[in-house]
Structures are given as structure tokens and as C-alpha cells.
Amino acid sequence: KAALKEIGYVTLIRNTYEPIINRNSNNHNIYNFKGAVLTNIGYHQDAVEAYDKCLKIMPSFTHALNNKLISLNSLGNKQKIIDHCHEILQHEPKNSKAWSDKGLNHYYLGDSTNGLFCINKAIELEPTNPHSLNTRAIINLDSGKNEEAITDLKKAISLEENIHFHGNLGIAYYNLGKDTEAVAQYNVVLSVEPNNVVQLNNKAQALIHLNKNEEAIEVFEKCISLEPTYSVALVNLALLYEAKGVYGRTLELLRRAESVIDQDNRSSYANKLFVKEQMERISILAEKLTNIQASLAYSEKVLMAEGKPTDEVVKLKKSMTIIGDDHAKQEKHMIRKSQSHVIDEQST
């Protein structure tokens, strides 16, 4: 029914505009109005086609240029967004939105240099735009410039109370080892969006570095119950259970991560690389420990059957299931350096 209703909307728009267009085929305004209606109901590809017809007649028509950018952002083709922003800037070199969107999409395509150049232009033109400040912070976070990111994010928050800015501020604090401050920022987000799995994952990692492993486990468990295909959260939780010596649960989580990694649309390439490295490392470790424990269990039974003391075997079995402090510290270091913390880009 919903699909039929939407088809009905498009049919109505076509039936309304086609007779008008046929009588005024060179009127660029009509194509722009049609595109705007289609944009508002979510038919962005049809909207882009309408704007293109408008711009073919009047290439410098700023309303159509900017409206088309809205639909292109919704369609998500990053190179097309960059190309269209370039076209806008030929006509409007001081269009801060075009500079900002161009910068963000250069960054998405891995070109941080052009990304930063464009976003700096946007901020130069509009210094108090909080979203441009947030975008520059995202680029700086990716480049390890955490102090610069903190400055931009604090200014952005002073201009607009936006939870996603708080999430990114939490990342900057986490990267600097300021885990208490990071948790405080994640809690701002989670007070509004308690089921935000990105910030649940981020918060749990910070809790690990505050030696609050049990609380971190609870947060990770909630995270993967909300999004079972979030592979980086599954592996982060597996590392915690490994540190506790709970290898059965560790392996279960790793197998789940392995089975869902191709369906995981949230974790980045770097996240997935970390996931695969940990699956390989822990699988080898677990296999070795399983073999050792099986041998020790057999030895214990033989000794008991012969009436001999088993204290040494029991002690050795325990050492095979409990990971020492040095290993736990290595796990924390691994998580900190893993890039499995996730930047919140929703606001852009």
C-alpha cells in the first residue's frame, strides 16, 4: 500500500507538471519547482533529472544548483557531489555550503588535503557555522590533530547543542587518553539516544581504560544485542572475555564476527582489518590452549586414578585460563591503537 501510494504521488506530479511543461518547455522555473517537489517527497533521482533540465536552460540558476546539491547528498555519490559543488562555485565562489560539502566528500574519498582546504574556505566565509567546524574536526581527528579538533568542537557546541558534536569530542578526548572526559561526552549522546550503537561501542572502550571491565562488558553486550552484525563491537567484547580467561565466550563472539563481517555496513575498512587480525590471533591462541587444557585434564584424571596429588596440575590448568596483568595491559594498548573507535558523522 505504501509503495502504491508513493507511485501515486509521482504520477500526480507528472500529470500536474507535464501539461505545464509542454506549454512552457523553455521555462527553467517550472523544472526547478518540479524538482523541489520531488526532493521533498524523497524521489531524488527524478529530482536531479528535473534540475538538470532547468540548468540546461539557465546554467547559473542558483536555486536549482543548490536544490540539486540537496538531492545529490541524499543519493550519496561522493564524486558527483564534488563535481556539482565545483559547478556551483563557478557561479557562486562564496557559497560556504558548497565548499563545506566539497571538503567533506573529498575527505570521504580519502583526499584529506583537498578536504581540509575546502572546509577551511567554508569556515573563512562563515566562521560561526557549527557544521563546518564539526566537519573540520572530523578531518583533524583522522589526521591525529586531536587538540585542533577539540577547539573546533567546543566552539561548535557553543554555537549549537548537537549531540553528534559531543560524540566526536569524546573521540578526541579518548585519542588523548582522557577517558573520563570521553565517557562524559558519550553519555551526553546516550542520554538522548540510549540505543546509539556507535557511542555504546566507543563508551565501552573508554571504560576498559578506566579499569571498569565489567561495566564495559555490559555496554558491549547491549551494543551487539541492538546490532548483531556490528563486527568491531563483537571483537572488542571478545578481547574483554579473553582478558578474563573466558575462552568459550571469546570464540563464540569471534565466530559471530566472522559470520557477519560481510553484512556489517557500519564498521570501516580499518575496523574490519582489525577484526580479521584479532580473529586470526585469538583462534590460534585458543586452539593451543584447548590442546594444553585437554592434556592437563587427562593428566589430572590419571593422577587421581593412581591416588597421587594433583595440586601442580590444577595450578597449571588455572594458569592456562587466567591472563596476567601484562597481557591485560597489552589488550588495552591494542584497543587504543586499533582505530575501532568510531567517528560520528551523522550531523554532516
CA atoms lying within 13 Å on the CB side of residue 48: 14
Give the chain's mean pLDDT: 84
On the question of pLDDT at 346 being above 80, the answer is no
Q: How far apart are CA 177 and CA 254, in angstroms?
A: 27
pLDDT given for residue 3 in this prediction: 42
Least confident residue range of 143-147, 170-174, 233-237, 297-301: 297-301
**Quick one: 25 exposed, middle or buried, by C-beta within 10 A (0-12, 13-18, 19+)?**
exposed
Least confident residue range of 5-14, 37-46, 264-273, 308-317: 5-14
DSSP class of residue 176 equals: T
Q: How far apart are CA 233 and CA 120, in angstroms?
A: 34
Query: Could you give the angle at the alpha carbon of 175 between the alpha carbons of 170 and 179, nearest 5°?
Result: 60
Q: How far apart are CA 137 and CA 143, in angstroms?
A: 10
pTM of the model: 0.73
To 10 degrees, what angle do helices 130-142 and 146-159 make? 160
Characterise 175 by phi-psi region: left (phi > 0), alpha (psi -120 to 50), beta (else).
alpha
Q: Give pLDDT tens digits for 261-312.
A: 888 877 777 777 877 887 777 667 667 767 777 787 878 787 778 787 778 7
